[in-house]
């Protein structure tokens, strides 16, 4: 028969304070996001009403109708999706092509090649040499400027290499004995075992590409090639009021529901972070395993 022990006063006090702190901490994280949702679906009157809000009287999608018909938001989505997924897929392929041979301890010059890659992590040319290089290879004002400069990551390659080194070598030896060549071993035996590390690196890459805007700012002049984050930056950071949205006043004249610039900003922010929030749960289960195994074995 088990005996239930009563908690001491100190233990009970700690639990109460701990739960209280966690609840308040959770509210401090959730409320700004909830307020952003309310603001994006509200009208002009609600947006200009200062104060604490948990609900709104009028729910409307006018702000979303505006952003998807103005400010190149749809094209920005297309450019960002192209950048995120094409850049991630090509980066995974390039990193794997570097990681697989470097995972072999009998590779001639393995340590020298590894040091060569590591040097690039600590030394870089800087902005001006990078700009001149991009201009020299004719990537200016091209969507490929989003992908080619970051098509290889030494850090991600090392994480992937360490993960490959943790795989039992007997699997590869058995495949070679059965008549498989090295290409089959690399892409049919080893690659399918890399789901955790591939998902982890893919998540890093997608988030990195999705949030990038500076390279678009300095390399792209055609507004039809702008990424979503640069459009958001122009609308949220640089805008100081409704007058900065050139087509907002005309939109309000034609719409029954009047919207404010803050409605548009909130809707744009939600539209921007939405895809990343939807992708993360599918990759989360691989995240911890991929980063831990990939960082331990050297």
Model confidence over 24-37: pLDDT tens digits? 999 888 888 888 88
Instruction: Tell me the residue length of the chain.
Output: 298
- Residue of 239, 236, 233 whose CA lies nearest to 214: 233
Handedness of CA 196, 197, 202, 205 (dihedral sign): positive
The larger pLDDT score, comparing residue 94 to residue 60, is at 94
Question: Mean pLDDT throughout 217-241?
Answer: 78
Q: Are 268 and 184 in contact (CB under 8 A)?
A: no
Convert the pLDDT of each residue in 156-169 to its tens digit.
999 899 888 888 88
The pLDDT mean for the chain works out to 80
- Residue of 95, 112, 220 whose CA lies nearest to 158: 95
pLDDT at 272: 80
Residue 221 main-chain phi, psi, to 5 deg: -110, -25
Whole-angstrom Cα distance, residue 70 to residue 251?
Answer: 10
Q: How confident is the model at residue 125 (pLDDT cuts 50, 70, 90)?
A: confident
Q: How confident is the model at residue 140 (pLDDT cuts 50, 70, 90)?
A: very high
| Backbone region of residue 42 per phi and psi (left: phi > 0; alpha: psi in -120 to 50; beta: other values) | beta
3-class secondary structure, 205 = helix
Question: What end-to-end distance do the CA atoms of the chain give, in Å?
Answer: 50
CATH 3.40.30.10 fits 65-298, yes or no: no
pLDDT at 134: 92
State the helix-helix crossing angle for 261-296 and 195-211, rounded to 10 degrees: 150
Question: Mean pLDDT throughout 256-282?
Answer: 74
pLDDT at 196: 83
Whole-angstrom Cα distance, residue 89 to residue 93?
Answer: 6
111: tokens are: 């340590």
Q: Are 67 and 268 in contact (CB under 8 A)?
A: yes
* Burial status of residue 117 (CB atoms within 10 A of its CB: 0-12, 13-18, 19 or more): middle
Q: Are 280 and 203 in contact (CB under 8 A)?
A: yes
| Extents of the domains making up the chain | 65-298
């Amino acid at each position: 028969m088990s005996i239930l022990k009563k908690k001491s006063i100190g233990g009970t006090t700690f639990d109460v304070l701990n739960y209280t702190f966690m609840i308040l901490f959770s509210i401090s994280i959730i409320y700004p996001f909830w307020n952003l949702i309310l603001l994006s679906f509200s009208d002009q009157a609600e947006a200009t009403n200062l104060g604490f809000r948990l609900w709104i009287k009028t729910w409307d999608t006018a702000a979303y109708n505006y952003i998807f018909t103005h400010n190149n938001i749809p094209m920005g989505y297309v450019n960002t999706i192209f950048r995120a997924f094409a850049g991630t897929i090509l980066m995974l392929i390039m990193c794997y092509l570097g990681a697989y041979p470097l995972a072999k301890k009998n590779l001639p010059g393995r340590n020298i090649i590894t040091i060569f890659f590591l040097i690039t992590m600590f030394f870089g040319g800087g902005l001006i040499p990078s700009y001149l290089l991009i201009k020299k290879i004719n990537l200016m004002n091209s969507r490929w400027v989003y992908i080619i400069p970051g098509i290889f990551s030494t850090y991600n390659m090392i994480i992937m290499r360490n993960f490959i080194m943790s795989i039992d070598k007997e699997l590869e030896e058995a495949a070679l004995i059965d008549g498989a060549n090295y290409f089959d071993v690399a892409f049919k035996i080893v690659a399918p075992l890399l789901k955790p590390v591939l998902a982890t690196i893919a998540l890093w890459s997608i988030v990195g590409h999705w949030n990038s805007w500076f390279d678009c700012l300095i390399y792209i002049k055609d507004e039809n090639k702008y990424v979503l984050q640069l459009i958001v930056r122009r609308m949220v950071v640089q805008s100081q009021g409704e007058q900065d949205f050139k087509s907002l006043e005309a939109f309000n004249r034609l719409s029954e529901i009047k919207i404010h610039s803050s409605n548009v900003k909130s809707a744009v922010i939600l539209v921007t972070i939405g895809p990343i929030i939807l992708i993360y749960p599918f990759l989360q289960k691989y995240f911890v395993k991929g980063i831990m195994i990939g960082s331990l074995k050297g």
